[in-house]
Amino acid sequence: MDTKQKLIEIARRYADTITQEFTKVNKENIKLNIYISGSVSYGYCDEKSDIEIEFYLPDKIKKEFKDKLKKVIDEYPKFEDIRISAGVSDWPLEKIVHGDIDDFWNQSFPYLLYELAHATPIREDLPLINEVKNKLPFYPDNTLQKIIKGLWLTVGDNGTYNADWSFKRGQLTASEIFLFLSVEAILRLVYLLNKKYFPHTKWLEKELHTLDNDFGLIEFTQNIEKKSLEEKLEAHKQIVRKLDQFMSENDILRQDLINDPWSVVHEDYYVFNPMRFGWDELKH
């Protein structure tokens, strides 16, 4: 049994125990869905990974039942050979399937989209996750445009400008920081240009090999610790040129925005906010 399957089995045992305990304190027949999320559902797990489990109750269920389930989860030990992170899910599954999808997109977080796309069901009394995945194949064009604009601005401001000028001034630490802020944005952008949701920052490099066009990022990240700052900056410039050319040839952004990333500030755009793992919408 590989590591992922081992962790899934642990998750199943834990979920069964919680379900049994919940049934003892609640005699009504309530539908319950249970999903594995996080690194185990992605397949990027090892013996040090924790297991994330979402216990989903239908939207119309009374709050008292959610409180009972939360109490059972909170009182049960969170260790079974490995740490388990479990809770009553706030995933908007029914809103996605039955509600206003435009409203969902206006409030969605990128990591949530990746989670939903990779969620592994343990139990589904109310079949939802497959419908959710079918409804969210990728960002709608207007949302995608805002995200790409924000990422391109981040690349231009941090990488093309600040990393380069900090290096020329001998401010090497600042240059490294600006460079990798830009690289992080480029990694996200490359997933989007391949029409895929991107994972959490710590997994961004993991899926590069699955992309049709990695824009040179695989080569960039190989033995990166052995490359000088000057070499990394030059490689960064080459990647940015490839992105520029691709977006121009495929009409991804207007040419004036590609040529001058700072002009994005006059547009509607999203910038990634790592403090809440989501997007902040900025409007001029």
For 193, the enclosing helix (H) or strand (E) is: helix 172-193
Check whether residue 131 and residue 151 sit in a common domain. no
Check whether residue 159 and residue 254 sit in a common domain. yes
Beta-carbon neighbour count of residue 238 at 10 Å?
13
Check whether residue 275 and residue 164 sit in a common domain. yes
Residues 6+ apart with CB under 8 A from 185: 151, 154, 155, 158, 159, 272
Domain finish residue from 92, 112, 135? 135
Check whether residue 150 and residue 239 sit in a common domain. yes
Its pTM stands at 0.89
Cα 36 → chain centroid = 15
Torsion of CA 37, 38, 41, 47, to 10 degrees: -130
Total domains, the chain: 2
In the prediction, which pLDDT does 201 show? 87
Check whether residue 272 and residue 160 sit in a common domain. yes
For residue 40, which amino acid is it?
V
Domain finish residue from 87, 118, 135? 135
- In the predicted model, is pLDDT for residue 276 greater than 70? no
Check whether residue 130 and residue 185 sit in a common domain. no
Check whether residue 103 and residue 181 sit in a common domain. no
Domain hosting residue 178, numbered range: 141-283
Three-point CA angle 107, 113, 118, nearest 5°: 155
Check whether residue 278 and residue 148 sit in a common domain. yes
| pLDDT tens digits for range 131-157 | 999 999 999 999 899 999 999 999 999
Cα 183 → chain centroid = 16
| pLDDT tens digits for range 175-218 | 999 999 999 999 999 999 999 999 888 889 989 999 999 999 99
Check whether residue 157 and residue 210 sit in a common domain. yes
Check whether residue 119 and residue 248 sit in a common domain. no
Domain finish residue from 135, 150, 166? 135
| pLDDT tens digits for range 150-182 | 999 999 999 999 999 999 999 999 999 999 999
Check whether residue 165 and residue 278 sit in a common domain. yes
Q: Are strands 84-88 and 51-56 parallel, antiparallel or unpaired?
A: parallel
CB 10 within 8 A of CB 81: yes
Check whether residue 153 and residue 28 sit in a common domain. no
Residues 6+ apart with CB under 8 A from 4: 40, 43, 45
